[in-house]
A and B are shown apart, each in its own frame.
Chain A
């Protein structure tokens, strides 16, 4: 069964803290994504990666960075958390286009920055 696991479902962090959100997939997918979900705005792409150590900026990369040292793991990093980064973060993964385009999502991580 397809599995995208986000290690932290609920986090509360202080302004200025460094925050790591971890995502692991067990499907040997090349592509991994981080989306941010806010009411009234839908899902917006922060970063994606199509291979180990490869990354591309999405629509809203400011204030975020990512790391992909292993194929199955994709981390989202908030170098200095701010209150406007309070949101729901969704990780996703997929094969490259020539192997099918279904994107699978994790259950999400609720981050509150106080």
Chain B
């Protein structure tokens, strides 16, 4: 079974530039999550989609971050303009039926962003 796919794996940009990350979840997984993991910390939820609708985006810095999942499958997370503190690994995860029964999220390898 193919896992959650993310790209790019690594990205280096200068502050005030923009960047976009792409995620393709496991086939059939209705729920998709974006997490931000800063070095030395645990993953922090940014946004949760159920199909193409947003379930929770309470921790998404909406002045600079945006995310979409237009057809209920792939998703894109964008940062514009980037700040130094956005340097982190951006993890995409997916789960079956919202994951509420099992709590099992399947994670991608992550996209490592460095903002200079």
Q: Are A and B bound to each other?
A: no
